[in-house]
A and B are shown apart, each in its own frame.
Chain A
Amino acid sequence: MSRTGEFEPLTVPGESGAGEGQDVLEVAMGPHHPSTHGVFRMDVAVAGERIVRLKPVFGYLHRNHEKIAETGSYLAAMPYTDRLDYFCSLTNNWAYALAVERLTGLRPPERAEYIRVITAELTRLQNHACLVGFLAQDMGASGTPLMYAFREREKILDLFESLTGSRMMCNYMRFGGCRCDLPDGWLDQARQLVADFPRFLDEFERFLADNEILMARTQGIGVLPPELAINAGVTGPMLRASGVNYDLRKVDDYGIYHRFKFRVPLGDHGDVYDRYMIRVLEMRESVEILHQALRDIPAGPILDPKSKPRGFRPKPGEAYGRIEAPKGELGFYLISDGGSNPYRYRVRPPSLINLTVLEDMCLGQTLADVVVILGSVDIVLGEVDR
């Protein structure tokens, strides 16, 4: 590889068997390409229509998140976590709050734990709904499925706004609880939304699941073998679509997930269609969790009394907090030296690590499939580049 990170001149085409004896064309997809879901570039080498090499190039949206978090106070990093995966700010908040709680020993009260589960599962619903919409958009279903998904997302965002004050940049979780209590009538609105949501899922399934074009574009495309998925550290719906039963809500037992009955859907082909179906099935399980959480939520305080907004200095030590974010394992690793700002702050973003297998999934596929495969990975560039 040359110093500038560009391709070496390709002299031997047909490494993957495809396009033997043909000239290889290098195509730079992105950074301004509508299918890349942000500013992301794929340097693709194609022989004819088949991919022989693919190199993801990221960093266009690098914002120095980790270093900024190390210069400010612990609390000051919280609003920046909203901006990692800007679709799922509440799960990002939770992961960071969990890491700090493990560092300091703060314990969120019962009600706060329930609120966290409810907001996280609502986040999962809107993230997966949008992902399915975007995936259909990538396949050429311009707008319609995406707008139906956005319509449902809008209702969830309205709930977030009435709870946290902001639709996307919620900045809601605090170390040892949550910032403010649920407003009056919020639980009833949430129950109504959760009761109505399966109707949207049924509609969406009638709308897309049997669609022949969708099946032709997704089945057998971008297969990710389970061994490779495990070796590459892939997590989340992408790993489960390959048939690996690994869900942090079951395995790591953070929060109060052990109290809820839910199943972990698994795929068995690991192709784009499985990844699409996993999201739909996970939404149904999230609805189940929400039903139980909204039924059982107790009254009480929402913040650990030991938690304080000013002068927060954890004892020296290190901690890793991880949760099952909608996109996979989201972890925050913190080292404290006893000061008011973290000595080291590290994010383990699921989007970035799930992207590392992109080339393996794309080799031998056509250029049009790359768009669909990338869509099924479910990346948000705010989290990939940080």
Chain B
Amino acid sequence: MLGAGIIKGLAETARNFVGSYVVPERLITVPYPEQRLPAQENARNFPFLVYDGDDAAAGLRCVACQICEKECPPQCIYIVKDVVKKPDHTGKLQFQPKAFDIDLSVCMSCQICVEVCPFDAIKMDTEFELSTTDRFGGLLATKDQLSKPNTYYHQIHPGEARQVDEHLAAARARLEARTLSKPAGDAGSR
């Protein structure tokens, strides 16, 4: 019979329509601003800078080595090295970034800066509600805006943050063991 296929198809539409009221898996959308899906552990959006402790300026892990600036595919990172060295959280003298800007309108969230960073200083954020009416300044994230505490990193990526902490603690322990084994005068001069 001509039209039998169409009727069969429409029966399927009806099944889906009615089903969306009773079967949850047929209705997979959520009314967004009121209701939100749980965040995925691996989700990534834009990078941020991790600092240890409470003071963002003192605890910043970034040592302004500029590897991420070089490797960033769309070249959205801008770093200015500070001229003087500051002690980092372990007491070792390191450069600090004087300026660290990320142009969020250029960043393509590819995570390559995170992969190439040898200091675990830059990580991916999950915040996505960043809309602004200022398309230039509003989307240029400066060092102060990018710096976020390690506790925040633990909150958004718990598993990954735990691994990074273990890795950093091991590296610190190795460093301390080496400085202890050296003569006292040598360790100070470095």
Contacting pair B115 A80 (CB below 8 A): no
Contacting pair B4 A210 (CB below 8 A): yes
Residue-by-residue, is B98-138 near A (CB-CB < 8 Å gives 1, otherwise 0)?
00000000001111100110100000100000000000000
Stretch at the interface among A26-34, A70-78, A273-281: A70-78
Residue A155 lies at the interface, judged by CB distance under 8 Å to chain B: yes
Q: Which residues of A contact B5 (CB under 8 A)?
A: 209-212, 214-215
Q: Which of B11, B26, B40, B112 contacts A79 (CB 8 A)?
A: B112
Residue A344 lies at the interface, judged by CB distance under 8 Å to chain B: no
Given contacts A75-B71, A162-B40, contact A203 B4 (CB under 8 A): no
Complex alpha-carbon distance, A203 and B23, angstroms? 15
Complex alpha-carbon distance, A80 and B116, angstroms? 17
Complex alpha-carbon distance, A158 and B28, angstroms? 11
Contacting pair A144 B13 (CB below 8 A): yes
Q: How many residues of B contact A (CB 8 A)?
A: 31
Contacting pair A180 B9 (CB below 8 A): no
Residue B2 lies at the interface, judged by CB distance under 8 Å to chain A: yes
Residue B31 lies at the interface, judged by CB distance under 8 Å to chain A: no
Max chain A CB contacts within 10 Å: which of B6, B12, B28, B115?
B12
Q: Which residues of A contact B72 (CB under 8 A)?
A: 76
Contacting pair A310 B43 (CB below 8 A): no
Q: Which residues of B contact A209 (CB under 8 A)?
A: 5
Q: Which residues of B contact A214 (CB under 8 A)?
A: 5
Residue A376 lies at the interface, judged by CB distance under 8 Å to chain B: no
Residue B182 lies at the interface, judged by CB distance under 8 Å to chain A: no
Contacting pair B111 A165 (CB below 8 A): yes
Within 142-183 of A, Cβ neighbours of B (below 8 Å) are at 144, 148, 151, 154-155, 158, 161-166, 169, 171, 179-180, 183
Q: Which of B3, B43, B71, B110 contacts A73 (CB 8 A)?
A: B71
Within 5-22 of B, Cβ neighbours of A (below 8 Å) are at 5-6, 8-9, 11-13, 16
CB-nearest residue of chain B to A214: B5
Complex alpha-carbon distance, A208 and B108, angstroms? 38
Contacting pair B111 A171 (CB below 8 A): yes
Given contacts A161-B40, A212-B3, contact A179 B115 (CB under 8 A): yes
Residue A306 lies at the interface, judged by CB distance under 8 Å to chain B: no
Rounded to whole Å, the gap between the CB of A45 and the closest CB of chain B is: 34
Q: Which of B16, B41, B73, B124 contacts A148 (CB 8 A)?
A: B16
Contacting pair B42 A180 (CB below 8 A): yes
Q: Which residues of B contact A203 (CB under 8 A)?
A: 12
Q: Which residues of A contact B93 (CB under 8 A)?
A: none
Contacting pair A207 B41 (CB below 8 A): no
Complex alpha-carbon distance, A165 and B125, angstroms? 11
Q: Which residues of B contact A78 (CB under 8 A)?
A: 110, 112
Residue B67 lies at the interface, judged by CB distance under 8 Å to chain A: yes
Q: Which of A79, A154, A210 contacts B110 (CB 8 A)?
A: A79
Contacting pair A207 B71 (CB below 8 A): no
Contacting pair A207 B67 (CB below 8 A): no
Residue B44 lies at the interface, judged by CB distance under 8 Å to chain A: yes
Residue A206 lies at the interface, judged by CB distance under 8 Å to chain B: yes
Q: Which of B42, B111, B118 contacts A161 (CB 8 A)?
A: B42
Extra contacts, 4 of them, besides A161-B40, A165-B42, A207-B9 (Cβ < 8 A), are A79-B108, A151-B28, A165-B111, A212-B4
Closest 9 CB pairs of A and B: A210-B5, A79-B110, A165-B44, A76-B73, A207-B12, A165-B42, A211-B5, A207-B9, A309-B115
